[in-house]
Structure 1
C-alpha cells in the first residue's frame, strides 16, 4: 500500500513539475539541470566542482561540460581552490548572478501561480503535509535541518530588511525610529547605486522565509576597501550558525573581488555580533562614545586585512 501511494505521488508530482518546465514556461534558455546548477552556485556555500557533483548527483564529465558552457557564456569563473589546489572553485560572475536571480524570481512566480489555486484556508494544511513528507522520508532530519540558504534578496525583501532592523533593535536595545531611518538610507543607496560586480547583499532563508541579512559595499572614503553592513539574524533563527555564514560570505566575496581591507562599524552593546566579527578575524581599531537612536552608545570600528589588490571594475 505504501509503495503504491509513493509511486502514485511520484507520477502526480512529475506531471506537476512538468507544468513548471523551466525552458518552456519560465522563458529562460536553461534546462532544468542547468538551472539547478545556477541555483546551487547562487545559494550554497560549497562551490567546489566536486561538491556540486555530489550535491546534485551529476556525472563528472557532464558537469564539466556544463560549467564550460557557462564559462563561455560569461556566467561563471573557474579557479583552483585556495584551500586545496586539487579542487576547482566555481564562482558566479555578475552576469551569472543576474541569471540566477531571474531564474529564482520566475520560479517563485510559477510556484505562486500554482499555490494560488489552493484555497487560502487549505494552504496551512498543504505546508504541514509537505513538511511531514520531508521529515518522514529523511528520518532524523527535521525540516530546515539542512541549514539556511543564502541568496540575493527577492522583491520586497529590501523593505523587509529595513522593517526587521527597526523592530528588532527597538525590542532588544530600545533604539528609536532614527535607526530605522538610517537603515532605510543604506538600503536605498544600495538599491539605487549598487555595482553588481563589487557589491552584494545576502538574505538568509530558513524553512522558506527570510531570517537574516548582510551587505558588502564599497567604502566611499577609502579606496580598495569594502564595508560590511546590516548584519541581522532573527532571534528564533539564532544558533544555526547563520551569522557566521553571512559574515564569511562577505569576507569571501570581498577577497574574491580584490579588496585590500574589509571594515565595519558597530556598537559595543551588540555582543553577539562582535563575537562573530572576532572569530572571523576582525580587529577593533577605534572606539568613540556617541548619542544616537535615543540612547548613549560606544561606536566601534573593526578592520580585517584581506591581502588583496583592488579589482579593476568589470
Structure 2
C-alpha cells in the first residue's frame, strides 16, 4: 500500500499503465470510431458533455476536453454539419455562441449512453459487490488525480471531508446537480427528474428551522460532495422521510455515505420517530447494501413512473427503537 504523497515504485506504476492500456483497448478507443457511432472518440465525448450540461461554448468544451481550440472548432463544425449540434448566440454577448444538441444529437447521445452502459454492466457482472464498489471508488479517485496533475490544483483527500448540518449557500443547486448527473448517467433520467428534485429541495429547505427536519452535507474544502435529509413533517404519524441521499462521483465506497447516514439515523433516534422510510427503485445495489446496513428493510416494490421513467419502485423502512430499549 502506497502512502499519500510518496513516490510509487516502477512495478506499481507499470501495473497501472498496463491496466490503463487494456481499458483503452477494451472500451474501443483504439478504433477510428467509438460507441457504435460514425464519430471519433473526441466527437463522442463532445456529444456526451454538451448533452449532460445542456449547452456549452466551444471554448468551454476545449478546456473541458483538454483539446486545442482549433481542433475543437473543426470538430464542432463537422458535428453541426452532421446535424448533431446547433449554435445559438448568447443573449449577453453576441460574440459567444452556445452549443446544444439537436433532436438528432439527443438520439445519438441516448444510443451512446446505452452502448456505454451495456459495456460497463457486462464488465461489472464479472465482479463481486465489494469489487464493484472498489472499481467505482478507485477509478473516480484516479481520474481526479490525473485531472489535478494537469490543472496544477491540489487534490483533497476523502479523509478531509467534514459532515456538517444545516443550510449552506448553494446547497439546493449543488444537490440537484449531483442527482441530475448521476441518474442521467446511470439510469437515463432527464429533465423531469431534475425538475422534481429541484422543486422538492426548494420546498424543503425553507422548513429546515423546524426541529424535526434535518440536512447533513459532506463538504470537501468548500465543495459539497454529498447530502442526506430527514423530513419529519411530510409523512405524519411520527414517521420520518429520508430524502436526497447522494455522494459525488469518485467518493462512493470511501465511507462518506455511511457517515451521512449515521448522522441522519442518530438524529432520528434522538427525535424518537416511530420509523424512517425512504423511496427508491430497483438496481441501486450499492445504496441498498448501505440502507440495509443501517437497519432498513425492503417493505414494498411495484412498477411505477414517478421519476419520469418506468422503474421498479421500492419502499424501505427502518423501525426506531423506543428510548431505553
TM-score by length of 1: 0.51
Question: In the alignment, which residue of structure 2 is the partner of 1:148?
Answer: 161
- Structure 2 distance, partners of 1:156, 1:208, is 11
Change (3 A) 1:218 1:241: same
* Alpha carbons of structure 1 residues 153 and 194: separation in structure 2 relative to 1, 3 Å: closer
Q: CA deviation digits over 1:245-281, x for unaligned, max 9?
A: 1111111101111211111111112111111101111
Instruction: Tell whether the 8 Å contact from 2:278 to 2:317 is kept in structure 1 after alignment.
Output: yes
Q: Partner residue of 2:208? A: 194
Q: 1:236 aligns with which of 243, 250, 256?
A: 250
SS at match of 1:263: strand
Which residue in the other structure is 1:272 paired with? 286
From 151, 169, 172, give the equivalent of 2:186. 172
Write the mapping of 1:286-301 to structure 2, written as runs, cut at 5 A: 286-301=300-315
Alignment partner of 1:253: what SS? Answer: helix
Partners of 1:159 and 1:208 in 2: how far apart?
A: 15
Runs of 4 or more consecutive aligned structure 1 residues displaced over 6 Å after TM superposition: none
1:250 partner SS: helix
Deviation at 1:288, TM superposition (A): 0.9
Unaligned runs of 5+ in 2: 1-150
2:224 corresponds, among 188, 192, 210, to 210
Q: CA deviation at 1:209?
A: 2.0
Shift of 1:296: 2.0
Separation of aligned partners in 1, 2:201 and 2:306 = 19
Shift of 1:145: 5.1
For the structure 1 residues 147 and 290, does the alpha-carbon distance in structure 2 shift closer, same or farther, using more than 3 Å as the test?
same
Task: Sort the Cα spacing of 1:242 and 1:191 in 2 relative to 1 into closer, same or farther, 3 A.
Answer: same
Question: Could you tell me which residue of structure 2 aligns to residue 250 of structure 1?
Answer: 264
Quote the Cα distance in structure 1 between the aligned partners of 2:162 and 2:248. 14
- Map 1:76-91 → 2, pairs under 5 A: none
Unpaired runs of 5+ residues, structure 1, are 1-123, 132-142, 310-314
* Contact kept? 1:144, 1:207, Cα under 8 Å: no
Aligned positions, number: 172
Superposed CA offset, 1:66-107 (max 9, x none): xxxxxxxxxxxxxxxxxxxxxxxxxxxxxxxxxxxxxxxxxx
Q: TM-score, normalised by structure 2?
A: 0.49
